[in-house]
Structures are given as structure tokens and as C-alpha cells.
Amino acid sequence: MKKTIQIIIGVGLGAGLLWLVFRGTSWNEVLQAIAAANPLWLAVFLALILLSFVVRVQRWSYIVRTAKPVSFRHLFSATQIGFLANFTLPGRIGEVVRAIALTRLARLPFTKSFAMVILDRITDLFGLLAVVIVTVFAYTPEGSISIPASTLGFPLEFSARNIYRGEVLAIVSLVVLVSFFVLLYVKQALMLRISDRLCLRLSHKLAGKVHIWLQHFADGLHIFRSGSDMAKSIGFSLLVWSIAMLALTSMIKAFDVHVPWQGIFVMQLLLAVFISAPGAPGFVGQFHAPIVIGLVMFVPGIEDSKAKAIAIMTHLLNLIPVAVVGLVCLYVEKLGLVELARESAHTEAEIEVKETKTSPAVK
């Protein structure tokens, strides 16, 4: 029931954003803007997206190899099948699908596979943290930023002070989160005790659930036996985010639009925030809104049709490679997406029941 509600909310969010961004759109003008795009820069964008697939897998390999040598092919297939699930199915079940795919392909226990997926997402936070830090120090607007009513149907205005406060809050939150995971790695018992005391103020049941999840995180973090492997994984995380921003720059250049480099960081951060929430399949709406908003912020007077064309092509040229490569991996590995999705839903339900039954008596 809870999962159904999350899916309904997510689909509603995506549909609402899609309507806000594209209501009253002149589709002839959008199609003309797409037709006029530079195909060379579009090809560069596509090449960078494909490169990011390989770099993500290489990042994950430093985590997985601590448990068992797994071929690059199987790691690549599990990753792309997980991406395909995230882009085509509701509920953001792609990470569970990736863990199950790795379990099937590498003959690993699901608990280990899932811990490795979680750890991969944690190392991804270091790349996001770097983007936030650069944004805070590089983007300091002197005046207010206004989003006209024509963009979303209602005007938005952000003062320079509030923008700066938001950036500082974002960086502090990420630093606290990363620091928490580091302390959980080196001082597991202490952090669990602190968590128990804080959560017990709210709910005994909540304290038990949080205790179990943090225990899972700690087990995942201790997969790393080598500081060198951890450093390499974080380094590749920085490379993944760098490639993403280069790809976004290429797409904008394809439409002959100039955005300052600081704007690319802000747009990438907006995109990360929007798609982090559970939404509709394919991230429709969630992918388009931050790009249009970012372009309006940094390119005053940009044609409405051109901003929407850039958003559409950015989403489309992300979606197509994920779909094609993911389907090829499913075929090569002889796996079925629907079967994996059903198993993922069943696994999530089992985990929730198990956690409820085995929730420790936190004192």
C-alpha cells in the first residue's frame, strides 16, 4: 500500500511538472529549434553519455571486487539493467533490480549485492558534494533571480541572500551526511547509540528500523578493505559528474546558446535535486523543468521554444541510450525486466517484513 501511494505521488509530480513546463507550447517552433541543432554537438553529447556508462561501471568495480572477482561484462549488464528499470518503471526500483541482476550474474548473495549497490550510491555523494562546493563558491548573484510567469505559469523570485543560504544549507547537509557515513565506518557502535537515542525521542518503532538500516549501511561500508580502492571509487565518482556537466555543455552548444560555466554547475545541481525524488517512469517532467528553469536563469530573453527543445533533447538522448543498451544487456544475459521487477518488489516486501519482525529492542 505504501509503495502504491509513493508511485501515485511520483507519477502526479512528473505529470504536474510536465504540464507546467509545456502548457501553451508552440510545438512547431520547438521542432524547428530541434531541426536547427548542430548534429556534431549532439553526437558529442551522445558519446559522453555512453562514456559515462563505462565510467560508472569502473567506479563500481572497485567496490564489487572486494567480495569476488566479477567480469566487467556482468557489472556493466547489471548496471544498465538497473538504469533501464529506473527509466521505465515507477517507484525507483532500479537499485534493487541492479542488486538482483548482479546476484543472478555473479552468483553473489543478495545481501552482499545490495550492500555494494548502496555503497556505490554513497560514493556518488562525493561527486555531488564537489558540485555543491564549486557552486557555492562560484555562483554569487548580485541581485535577485526572477523566473517569469511564462515559464511555469506563475512568477518566481529568489533573492541573492536566499540563494546563498540555500547553497550553504546544501553544502552543510552533504558534509554532515558524508561525515556521518565516515563516522559510521570508523565508530559504528558509537553512531548506532547516538542514532538510537535521537530516534527514541520520536518513536520506538522508528528507532528499531533506523538501527537496522544503519547496520546495513555499516556492513556495506566495511566492504572496503583497501583505502586505495575507496580513493579510486571516489575519483571515478568525480569523473562521472564531470562527464555529466560536459555533456550538458555540449547539448547547450548544439543549440548555439551560451551559458557561463557557473550556470552549468547550477543546472546540474538543479537536475540532481529534481530527479532524486521518486517520480514518473522516464523522469518525465522532473528532467525537463530544471533545465528550462536553469536556462531562463542564465540566458535572459532565451526563446521559450529553444529552452524547451534543449530540455526535450537532453532527456531524449539520455533515455534512448539507457533503453537500447539496457535491452541489449537483458537479451545477452537472457534476463527479463518484468521478472526482475517482480522479484524486486517481492524482495522489498520481504525486507520490510523481516525488519519489522527482527527490529531490535532499542533502549
- For position 48, what pLDDT does the model report? 97
The model's pLDDT over 285-335, given as tens digits with 9 standing for 90+, comes to 888 889 999 998 888 888 889 999 999 999 999 999 999 999 999 999 998
Q: How far apart are CA 281 and CA 294, in angstroms?
A: 23
Predicted confidence at residue 261, as pLDDT, reads 92
Neighbours of 59 (CB within 10 A): 23
Read off the pLDDT of each residue in 52-57 and give the average, rounded to a whole number: 96
pLDDT of residue 357: 53
How large a percentage of the chain has pLDDT more than 90? 34
Position with higher pLDDT, 156 vs 192: 192
Supply 43's cell numbers: 553526437
d(CA 226, CA 80): 26
What Å distances lie between residue 234 and 72, 80, 95, CA to CA?
19, 20, 19
> In whole angstroms, what is the distance from residue 146 CA to residue 296 CA?
9
Q: What pLDDT shows up at residue 339? A: 84
Confidence label for 39 from pLDDT (cuts 50, 70 and 90): very high
Sorted by where each begins, the domain ranges of the chain are 2-358
Helix/strand/coil (H, E, C) string of 89-138? Answer: CCCCCHHHHHHHHHHHHHCCCHHHHHHHHHHHHHHHHHHHHHHHHHHHHH
Task: Evaluate if residue 353 carries a pLDDT over 70.
Answer: no
Q: Is the pLDDT of residue 216 over 80?
A: no
Question: Which residues does residue 157 pair with via DSSP β-bridges, in sequence order?
Answer: 146
Work out the average pLDDT over 337-350.
75
The string of pLDDT tens digits covering residues 80-105 is 999 998 888 766 788 889 999 999 99
> Taking the CB of residue 25, how many other CB atoms lie within 10 A of it?
13
Q: Residue 219 has what pLDDT?
A: 64
Res 66: pLDDT: 75
Candidate ranges 144-153, 205-214, 316-325; pick with highest mean pLDDT = 316-325
Q: Report pLDDT digits (tens) over 218-262.
A: 666 655 556 677 788 889 999 999 999 999 999 999 999 999 999
